[in-house]
Structure 1
Amino acid sequence: MRCAPPAPKTAAQLLSDRATDTVGAADSPTLTEIFAENASDGGPLGFLLAQIDPACGPVLWISDRLSRQESGRLCIAGLPRPLEVIAVDVNRPLDVLWAMEQGLGCGVLGAVVGEIWGDPPQLDFTATKRLALRAEAHGVAAWLIRRAANPNLSAARKRWRVASLAALPDPDDSRAPGAPLWQATLFRSRWGAPGDWVARPTAQGGLHLDHRVEADAALPRAAEH
């Protein structure tokens, strides 16, 4: 099942979006890259999953051998929201790219995610351009999770660096962790200005982004409750 396109926003809603810095919340499906600041950090996965709407359809999740070996597999049972995941294990980055291209041609999918370790020569500008164009042509979001990688030349429309931060306290138990927080740096975007944010998931799905300076000032007060 394909998700219906979002309704046009009013001027008041657009101003509200700018005020709360919800960068890229209503972009059309395209290719987005997420770089992990630490190769073993699970933050990039949480950051990505918060932006996938389960109602849009199943997610095709493809990982190469080194990604599984060094950072493990996605734990579907531990996801915060019910999500149908079709997991595909392959050996080489080239196989990830081929499977992503095939999946992006399937309109019943809600998203296609590829995990690629390092900087394989096959993952060049041409390969990312093919993924971006295919995602946009078929209306299926494409995500690349990059670990132990450098932000080389790419056609990805948005490129993030993401790292985990200490979680907010649980509202019912200050000794327990609550909502996760991520440091999110957008260093390339076709639609918006780059910037540095503290991101957290919203109850309705999606991300809420706060400017880093404002968030740093607010976090100690949040921890006191």
Structure 2
Amino acid sequence: MQCAPPSPISPTDLLRARATPAEPPPATLAEVFAEAASDGAATGFVIAQLPADRPVLWIQDRLSRRECGIPYLAGFPRSTEMLRLDVSRPVDVLWAMEQALGCPSLGAVVGEVWGDPPVLDFTATKRLALRSEAHGVACWLMRRAAQPALSAARERWRLASLPSATDPYDSRAPGTAFWRAELFRSRFRPPTTWVARHDDTGLALDHPMALQDAPAGIRATG
């Protein structure tokens, strides 16, 4: 006897399901790679995990600012206190991140580095990881137009946008954003792929899935 295949899950169906708040890892270095350089999924994913009770320092190199723009404060939770630092080179981003991670008054340090600069090697990521863990300040390294080479990051994510849900008040407008979040390396949990979103609890992860088994209603199209 053959069972009928399950019906595709739509983005709106996900909103009706019980959210699964993500368990935040200990303060350490996490890398987030954007599958498409200009995709905002990586930015949204990081924002969903920033603390609301302490300031956040956001550092960008010149190419990241030019290609993807600067963080838009109106898109952050109202309680977020944001400090921005604009620098020219990737080496300046790494130096500023390492110095800032020594300040326990910060809740997180976010750095954006474009491409695969030689200065961003295993030693550089090891320094960030140890500095983050020593002072209890979360460290997020956002990578665009980059390849996941050897790194000391304790968690490494790959992000891509999925079709959003429908706005409950306007069927022609986009609603809650969904992302395909692939955890491909971690010291804290097994590699898995989730459908992720930002809700009132922060980051919510739903329906662990393999990429080839993604429900048709939320499968990435690009």
TM-score over 0.5 for the alignment? yes
**Pairwise TM-score range, normalised by the shorter structure:** 0.7 to 0.9
Structure 1 position 174, deviation (Å): 2.5
Instruction: Give the counterpart of 1:48 among 46, 49, 55.
Output: 46
The aligned runs of 1:137-176 (5 Å cut-off) are 137-176=134-173
Matched, 1:118 2:131: no
SS in 2 for 1:96: helix
Matched, 1:73 2:70: yes
Task: Identify which range, 161-170 or 145-154, moves more after superposition.
Answer: 161-170
SS in 1 for 2:215: helix
Measure, in 2, the Cα distance between the counterparts of 1:163 and 1:34: 11
Structure 1 position 77, deviation (Å): 2.2
Deviations 1:150-179 (A, max 9, x none): 000000000000011111112233322111
Deviations 1:57-82 (A, max 9, x none): 11100000011111111111232443
The aligned runs of 1:15-94 (5 Å cut-off) are 25-55=23-53, 57-94=54-91
Matched, 1:205 2:202: yes
Over the aligned positions, Cα root-mean-square deviation in angstroms equals 2.0
The aligned runs of 1:182-201 (5 Å cut-off) are 182-201=179-198
Paired residues in the alignment total 200
Measure, in 1, the Cα distance between the counterparts of 2:19 and 2:165: 19
Deviations 1:26-76 (A, max 9, x none): 321100000000001111000110111211x11100000011111111111
Extract unaligned runs of 5+ from structure 2. Answer: 1-17
Query: Which amino acid letter does the alignment assign opposite residue 118 of structure 1?
Result: G
Residue equivalent to 1:216 = 215
CA 1:21/1:204 → structure 2, altered by over 3 Å: closer, same or farther?
A: closer
Conserved? CA contact 1:182–1:200, under 8 Å: yes
CA 1:22/1:194 → structure 2, altered by over 3 Å: closer, same or farther?
A: farther
What TM-score results when the alignment is normalised by the length of structure 2? Answer: 0.84
Structure 1 position 218, deviation (Å): 6.4
Query: Which amino acid letter does the alignment assign opposite residue 216 of structure 1?
Result: P
Identity %: 58
